[in-house]
Amino acid sequence: MADIVLDHISKRFPDGSLAVDDFNLAIRDGEFVILVGPSGCGKSTTLNMIAGLEDISSGELRIGGAVANNKSPKDRDIAMVFQSYALYPHMTVRENMGFALKLAKTPKDVINTKVEDAARILDLTQYLDRKPANLSGGQRQRVAMGRAIVRDPSVFLMDEPLSNLDAKLRVQMRTEVSRIQRRLGATTVYVTHDQTEAMTLGDRVAVMRSGLLQQVGSPKQLYDLPDNLFVAGFIGSPAMNFLSGTMEEGKLRTSLGDLPITDQLRQEMERAKAGRDVIVGVRPENFEDAALVSADSRGHGITFRTSIDVVESMGSDVFVYFTQGRDTGVNSAELEELAADAGRADTGASGDTIVARLDAATQVHEGSDAELWVDARAVHVFDPATGRNLSVGAVSGTARGPVT
């Protein structure tokens, strides 16, 4: 078992493109770290650099304290699980799992014992003499993991191992991966584009975008205290709603109404020299049907009337979609890039389309007007130019200050 330190790691491809830009991360021994981000953000490249499949353009990689930049993959004591499993089609499961040990000239009986142990952990014992073509997707994925486990390495690397499975199997295998990692206590670096996997599997999650590390923290930290617009919009499903807002007369004007802001937030905004136009972020669960809000909570937010476009009842929750828009003309390059990255289609609506999660007891229905309430304490304020979360400076993660 070993710790991994990425020290100012960069990767520049021969055609000049910068795939990874000054990446810094210290991974503790036994930690499960997830690299997450949209396609093309550099997460797989970073993983390949840790593995030794790509050269490191600049910076230092230390595995177990020793500099590993120029070590070949087999000297780094690392095992990797690929997205497409990369099982050797002409070998049986047993031979696939034992291949690395055979190359290392391990005695045959040792290979057999190790392969059978790994097969038992993964419930593959009856498939040992089959070829990969005769296995299902989930079984192949387990063989790929078995191939890694058998080598008993210091570090596990996984490159989107669950992407090729169907949704139900993915959920099943997610718990398998978690269980195996905990059992083996191995340092694991896991790459995915699925934020759900990131949130459920990792001890810590590193969000990347366009080669740059956006934020590193526990899933809860990323969810509650996102550093910038991108992380706020990427983590959490359904995604955070973004509205345009203006600072006027000490209040935050949005299409939902005037939100009161705390002193701390105002100070932070002055300190950051933010302009009058800001982007306001509200998570769907911070809305509620006004009729269901208790009297003492009501004071912490504002109510507004709106016409409901779509209602999705999930049984335990109800998601409502509505637009609340006057065209304020606040254009943010950040917001547009974020929408493009997140793959959100441009519906052409002039207002801001908002999704809210309401309690299942709500009576709102499609097409009708409703009175909704939004929690002003849970609102995030972003600087449209840089995307930085201004309210993080003001909020320490504990109780927020009194609302003025």
Partner 1 sequence: MAVITPRQRTGWATANLVVLALALIPVLWLVSLSFKTPAAVLDPSLWPAQWTWGNYSGILQTSQFLRPLVNSIGIGIISTLIAVTLASMAAYAVARLEFPGKRVLVGLALLIAMFPLIALVTPMFTIERQLGLFNTWFGLIIPYVAFGLPLGIYTLSAFFREIPWELEKAAKMDGATPFQAFIRVIAPLAAPGMVTTAILVFLACWSDFLLAISFTSSISSRTAPAAMEYFSGGSVFTVPTGPIAAAAVVITIPIIIFVLFFQRRIVAGLTSGAVKG
Round to whole Å and give the CA distance between 42 and 164. Answer: 20
Q: Which CB atom, from 88 or from 340, has the smaller least distance to partner 1?
A: 88
Question: How near is the Cβ of 247 to partner 1 at its closest, in Å?
Answer: 52
73: contact with partner 1 by CB under 8 A: yes
Q: What is the dihedral of CA 36, 42, 44, 49, to 10 degrees?
A: -120
Q: Report how far Cα 223 is from the mean position of its chain's Cα atoms.
A: 10
> Using CB under 8 A, which of 79, 158, 232, 376 touches partner 1?
79
Q: Which CB atom, from 82 or from 321, has the smaller least distance to partner 1?
A: 82
Round to whole Å and give the CA distance between 219 and 249. Answer: 36
Q: Where in 42-61 is the site for partner 1 (CB under 8 A)?
A: 51-53
Q: Which amino acid is at 133?
A: A
104: contact with partner 1 by CB under 8 A: yes
Question: How near is the Cβ of 123 to partner 1 at its closest, in Å?
Answer: 22
Q: Is 20 helix (H, G, I), strand (E, B) or coil?
A: strand
Q: Which amino acid is at 208?
A: M
Ramachandran class of 65: left when φ > 0, alpha when ψ lies in -120 to 50, beta otherwise? left
**Contact yes or no for 7/59 (Cβ under 8 A):** yes
Site string for partner 1, 138-177 (x = CB under 8 A): ---------x---x--------------------------
Site stretch for partner 1 (CB under 8 A), options 70-78, 284-292, 323-331, 360-368: 70-78
Q: Which CB atom, from 70 or from 267, has the smaller least distance to partner 1?
A: 70
Site stretch for partner 1 (CB under 8 A), options 17-25, 97-105, 204-212, 371-379: 97-105
99: contact with partner 1 by CB under 8 A: yes
Q: Please give the order of strands across the beta sheet that includes 301-313.
A: 287-289, 369-375, 301-313, 317-323, 353-359
Q: In terms of Cα–Cα distance, which of 105, 47, 96 is closest to 76?
A: 47
Q: What is the dihedral of CA 44, 47, 51, 57, to 10 degrees?
A: 90
DSSP letters for 263-277: HHHHHHHHHTT--SE
Question: How near is the Cβ of 310 to partner 1 at its closest, in Å?
Answer: 42
342: contact with partner 1 by CB under 8 A: no
Question: How near is the Cβ of 131 to partner 1 at its closest, in Å?
Answer: 12
> Using CB under 8 A, which of 18, 100, 212, 291 touches partner 1?
100
321: contact with partner 1 by CB under 8 A: no
User: β-strand 204-209 against 212-217: which pairing, if any?
Assistant: antiparallel
Question: How near is the Cβ of 160 to partner 1 at its closest, in Å?
Answer: 12
Q: Which CB atom, from 103 or from 399, has the smaller least distance to partner 1?
A: 103
Element (H, E) at 116: helix 108-122
> Using CB under 8 A, which of 24, 60, 67, 88 touches partner 1?
88
> Using CB under 8 A, which of 80, 158, 235, 338 touches partner 1?
80
Chain contacts with partner 1 (rule: CB under 8 A): 51-53, 73-74, 78-80, 82, 84, 86-90, 99-100, 103-104, 147, 151
